[in-house]
Every structure is written in C-alpha cells, then in structure tokens.
Amino acid sequence: MVGATDDFVVWKDFPKRLKILLLQKDEASAAETKSKLEEMDYLVSLYHSEEDALEAISKDAESFHVSIVEVTASDSCGTFRFLEMAQDIPTIVISDEHCLSTMMKCIALGAAEFLQKPLSEDKLRNIWQHVVHKALNAGGSVLSKSLKPIKDTVVSMLRIQSETSEHKIEEKVTEIDGKHGCEKTMANDRLSAPSTPQLERGRFPPDREFQDVTCCSVAKKLLQPRKSSSSASKSVENTCDNSISVANTVDALPSKAQHIAAEEEVNSVDGSKTDECSSVKAGSLPSNLHSVENIESHADDVQKKKSVLDYSYLNGGRNNRKKTKVDWTPELHRRFVQAVEQLGIEQAIPSKILELMKVEGLTRHNVASHLQKYRMHRRHILPKDQDRRWQPHRDTTARGCISRPILAYPPYHPNCGAPTNQIYPVWGHPNYRSHGVQMLGHAGYAAWHPPPQSWPWKTYPLVRADAWGCPVVTQYGQYRMSSPRSPMSSDFDMNGDRNEMFRESYDLHQVEMIDQLVKETMSKPWLPLPLGLKSPSTDVVLAELNRQGICTVPPATNAASPDPNDFCG
DNA sequence: AAAAGAATAT
DNA sequence: GATATTCTTT
C-alpha cells in the first residue's frame, strides 16, 4: 500500500482553508472578492501588483493552492506576465472584459479558467476543483507538499465512495460534485471545469487526449455505454458496465463469501450490484495489480492506462441479460495459468483457480470452460513436448541437460511468490500483436499474450514455460557469434520498452547462467550442445561471417548446418 | 446439492 | 476456433 508508507494526510474539511492568491488592482473590488472568498473559508492573500504577487510566489511556491488574477483592458500585460510566471499554480483569470482574444491568451498562457465578472458565489466556490485537478495531475515525485494532502483527500474520498458502492475504482469517476447533483467526469483524469466551459490548459502535457467535458449532459453522454457495438469492442474501452477487474486487495474485496456470491451474479440479470455509471473505478493497474493506490502513485498515468484486467462488457448493465463472452486476454490467461501452476495439476479445479485469480466478475463456469480448453490443449501438446524434451540432443552424455540448472527445474513452485513464468519469462511471438489491451503487467507476461488464434504456450520461441509449471528451454531465438551475450538479452532488445519492467523482476541470475552456458559452449565447440541450445543456422553464420568481412565459405561449413527449424535434433 | 468435467451449442 | 451452455458424473 502506497499510502501506508507515505504519510496519508487527509484534508478534513476540504476545500476550506485553501490558500488563494488574489491579484486585483482595484482596491474596492479586490476587497469585495476577498471577502466573498473568505466567507467560503478560503484563505486569501491579496496583492495589488504583479510584482508583489510574483514575489510572494517566488518566495515560497507552496504558499498558494490557487491564484485569482484580474485582467483589465488597460493592463493585460501584467496579467499575462503573471500567468507565465505562475505556471505551477492553477490560475483563474477574472475580468470585466468579454474579449475573446484576451480570454484565449489567458487560457493559452495556462489559465485554468476565465471567469467573467460579476463573480457569482458559485463561480468562486468551485475554484477548488482546479486544485484537485492539479493535485491529481501532478506526478507523484513532483507532488508538492501543499498538493499532497489534497490528493490524499481525493483518494480517500474516492475510496470511501468505492467501498460504499462495492465497486472497484475505475478510471472514470463520476459524481464528484454532489452539490450540483449532476455527474462530472474525471474521464481521463480531469475534472470538468467549475463554471465556464473550460479549454484545455496549455500547460498540460500535449499527449493528453483532449476531452472537453463541459457540462453534465456531455459527461453523461460520454459515460453512456455504446450499445451498438457490444461484440465489436468488448474488451477495454468501456467502463460503464460490468467489469471483470482485479479484485486487488482483500479490503477491496470484502469477503470471500461475497466474492463467491458475486461470482455467478455479475453477468446475470439484475445489475444492482453494479450500478455501473455511478461507480467509482480506478484503472491503471500496473503489474502489481493494485487499484486505489494507483490513484495516489500513478494519478498522472491513470488517464491512459487501461486496467489489464478491465474486462468491460458493453451493455453489461442491468438491462442486458445476455452473458457476454469473457475475453481471455493474455493477462487474464496469465493469471489463470499462474493460478493453475500455484495449485498444481491435481488441485487445479475451477473454483480454486477462480479464487486464486481474483478476477472480479469471472465465474467458475468461465474458468471451467477455459480449463477445459487448456487441458485439451495440453493433452494435445504435451506428449510431443515430452518426447522432444527427453530426446537426446546429439550426445547428452558429455553435457547432460539434466545437470544444467537452467534446464531442469522443479516442475512446480508452490507459493514461491513469483510464478514460474515470471522466473522463466518468455517473450512474444514475432507475430505477437496485442489486440488493444495495453499490457501493463510484467513484461514477461506480455509474451503470454497468445498470438491471435493460438495458445501461447506453444509459440514463443525461446523458453517454453510448461503449462503445468515446468518451464523448458526449447530453443534459442538468435545465436550471435559476434556478441556472446545471453540469447535472452538479445531478445530483450527486440522486445523494446516492454522490457523495462521485465528486466526489473527477471532473475538476473538466470541470465547470467545462460550467459555462462553460452560462453562455455562457444569456447568448447567440440562438445555437443546442451539441450536447448541450438547451433546457429547457416543463414546466421553466413551473415555473421559476411559482416566480419569473410565472404567466401568453404563448402564443408555449409554442409554441417542443421535444419534451422529443427531445434532439438 | 454442488461442483467438476465432458459434451454440445452458439 | 473460442467460449458458453448443457448434460453427466462425482
């Protein structure tokens, strides 16, 4: 729990005592604004000149949560300058002006909002939203002291809400503002603007999807399930419906009984458990599969990332009686396999698997069905593999494969913490293609993503984690003579950025061992290759020789080359 | 009765 | 072919 390590400070009566910098030259109206704000329990520091205001900011960036500055026809430059300088503080511009270009300029310079005078109470009251917005957008490391409690507060409130509604927090948050009795959306991590249509703030990173949520109706519209495409995009795009998401923590999942009770219901008739659109949900589940905490630690990431196990079924709400198919995405399958491995073959029964998987909304039937397929597939695949596995690769007497640690692993690691496919990561099939699911999990798992229409356990090129927990090295992808790196690391490279997480948790020891194995093998070419090591194909050898400037090859070299497709002799 | 597993339907 | 559903067995 992230919150457990950090000090989790909740702002009890937020937004009271929010610190506001007020920059207004006209003394009379400044006093008026100030008193209005103070009535709402905001703490106001009034300045009459940009210099003073800027100085105050520069002295201590933490002094203010939000600033309100007035722009006038006669002096807009000062305001612009302030906006430029005060990029770190949400700034609301107020004005008598109705000049569109002035408004534009202010917004372009980063103003959070442009409010036209006279300032109504409502307009002022809601300025806190900008602070929340800021707090949620600030990355964890950048989060200032003054914003931290606000973020914590928001998280806390959302958590309460989520618990109340018995829902996982998803990435869309509605009903933040009960006062207006309408739904505001935090879709893509933003709060809608308080009072006037809000333009995208120039200071936000440009990669954010522009989503101009300006009023309740729009927000609601955005949250409408897209009914027409129930089968087309069943996977991750929608959140207003039943979702199979990770029941991440015990507290998020009140009781096992409830979980099991819920199991068979989620997809059935009554949607009462899942009051979908008003639910508070948090996506962004990186590999560790936590939910609420991610609001804290990844609030800035929340917007784009989709829960890896966010199986959102269109139309899955109360009206839809038809069960929707479970999309056994790689992540879901990975959890399945992990559960199966953890249980061992004898104990791997649907109910237990389901329990271990901790995937909300998934039913025992779903698991049973998948298990059936899984077993059938295994039955089909395994005999071959076993043959292959025990088939001697040339001469195994000299370099028995069994003595190689990497080649002979205990078939099953109960509760070892790291699932076998984490220890023996595999990577994607060259044809690997994610169908729209952003793989946030362990990169090793990413490779479990079955290439379309195929099961993952038979397609990855390097290491095959046995479906029942006995990973077997079957084939090395590329053998590079010039750089005797571990074949794993060479494949890392091909895997791009997914490797970051992978690298992190991958057991370096294994890599070293393989590295050593490869080195040894290369240094003693007269010995037979250990099982799992494959001699380089003719093409690779020729290419490498060519690369090294050797263009003529004696015929004998060619003749000795094995069939590139035959990895085990 | 409930769960698992197999067979069958979609 | 993948998954749901139904049937049969435990």
Nucleotide B3's nearest residue (CA vs C1') is A351
Which residue has better confidence, A499 or A333?
A333
Judge whether residue A126 has pLDDT over 80.
yes
A371 touches strand B (CB under 7 A): yes
Residue A142 pLDDT: 52
Q: Tens digit of pLDDT for each residue in A338-384?
A: 888 888 877 889 988 888 888 878 888 889 999 888 888 877 766 55
Between CA A180 and CA A177 the distance in angstroms is: 6
Report angle CA A513, A514, A515 to the nearest 5 degrees.
90
Whether residue A93 is predicted with pLDDT greater than 80 in this model: the reply is: yes
Task: List bases in chain B with any atom under 7 Å of a protein Cβ.
Answer: 3-7
Instruction: Report if CB A368 to strand B is under 7 Å.
Output: yes
* Cβ–Cβ under 8 Å, residues A19 and A64: yes
Query: CA-CA distance, A564 to A547, in Å (whole number)?
Result: 20
Stronger pLDDT, A568 or A140, i.e. the higher one: A140
pLDDT tens digits, one per residue of A252-287: 333 333 443 343 433 333 333 333 332 223 233 333
CB less than 7 Å from strand C: which protein residues? Answer: A 322-328, 365-366, 368-370, 372-373, 450, 453-455
Summarised one tens digit per residue, pLDDT across range A209-223 is 323 333 333 333 323
Question: What letter would DSSP give residue A66?
Answer: E
Q: Smallest CA–C1' separation from A372: which nucleotide?
A: B5
CA-based nearest residue to A428, from A472, A389, A462, A473: A462
Q: Provide the 3-class DSSP secondary structure of residue A402.
A: helix
State residue A272 phi and psi, 5-degree precision. -60, -30
pLDDT surpasses 60 at A42:
yes
Q: Please state, in angstroms and rounded to a whole number, the distance separating the CA atoms of residues A372 and A481.
A: 44
Residue with tokens 């589940």: A285
Please state, in angstroms and rounded to a whole number, the distance separating the CA atoms of residues A558 and A505: 40
Spacing of A369 CA from B6 C1' in Å? 10
Question: Is pLDDT larger for residue A245 or for residue A83?
Answer: A83
Phi and psi at A265, nearest 5°, equal -100, -30
More confident residue, A99 or A451: A99
The pLDDT tens digits of the residues spanning A157-180 come to 666 555 444 344 333 333 333 333
Of A304-308, A320-324, A456-460, A534-538, highest mean pLDDT:
A320-324
Task: Using the structure, give the distance in angstroms from the CA atom of A445 to the C1' atom of B6, rounded to a whole number.
Answer: 30
Query: According to the model, what pLDDT value does residue A50 have?
Result: 87
Instruction: With CA atoms as reference, report the closest residue to A105 among A134, A78, A131, A125.
Output: A78
pLDDT at residue A564, rounded to an integer? 34
